[in-house]
């Protein structure tokens, strides 16, 4: 059973429990974050294992664009804490009803995320090499 708290993030408050952040404004609302930003909620968990599970539930919901259905606001879309909590509970129910499928999907998402980060680093290296070659040519 998951027992978590969602709170608006305030930089002056210190958090000692396991936690992560959730973007709450903009088109990426619902995206889980390891570092805070000005427009985010903090999800405070009971344990590191719960934090990890909830992080990946949020990541899956965000990647599946489930938050887009509940965004409010005409200029800057945002998600309300109640709708966010409801979607998290929906993800938890899925994880509890289909634990094997959930575990498989999370492993696949983790692998894809890792590969994406590797490709981003590779792309940055290629850009730097192109710049270096370009500088060499005009010497």
Gap between the Cα atoms of 115 and 122, Å rounded: 10
The yes-or-no verdict on residue 14 having pLDDT over 90 is no
Residues 62-96 have pLDDT tens digits of 999 999 999 999 899 999 999 999 999 999 999 99
Radius of gyration over every alpha carbon of the chain, rounded to an integer in angstroms:
18
The yes-or-no verdict on residue 138 having pLDDT over 90 is no
Edge-first strand listing for the sheet containing 5-8? 5-8, 40-44, 19-23, 32-33
Residues 36-71 have pLDDT tens digits of 988 899 999 999 999 999 999 999 999 999 999 999
Domain residue extents for the chain: 5-97
Kindly give, in sequence order, each residue whose CB lies less than 8 Å from that of residue 51, ignoring residues fewer than 6 positions away. 18, 19, 20, 43, 45
> At 23, which helix (H) or strand (E)?
strand 19-23
Q: What is the pLDDT of residue 128?
A: 96
The yes-or-no verdict on residue 122 having pLDDT over 90 is yes
The yes-or-no verdict on residue 135 having pLDDT over 80 is yes
- pTM for the model stands at 0.84
Kindly give, in sequence order, each residue whose CB lies less than 8 Å from that of residue 11, ignoring residues fewer than 6 positions away. 36
């Amino acid at each position: 059973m998951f027992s978590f708290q969602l709170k608006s993030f305030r930089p002056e408050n210190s958090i000692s429990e396991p936690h992560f952040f959730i973007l709450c404004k903009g088109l990426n609302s619902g995206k889980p974050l390891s570092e805070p930003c000005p427009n985010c909620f903090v999800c405070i968990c009971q344990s590191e294992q719960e934090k990890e599970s909830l992080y990946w539930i949020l990541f899956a919901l965000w990647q599946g664009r489930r938050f887009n259905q509940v965004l409010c606001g005409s200029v800057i879309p945002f998600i309300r804490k109640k709708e966010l909590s409801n979607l998290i509970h929906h993800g938890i129910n899925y994880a509890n009803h289909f634990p094997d499928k959930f575990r498989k999907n999370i492993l696949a998402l983790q692998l894809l995320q890792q590969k994406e980060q590797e490709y981003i680093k590779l792309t940055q290296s290629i850009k730097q090499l192109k710049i270096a070659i370009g500088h060499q040519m005009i010497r």
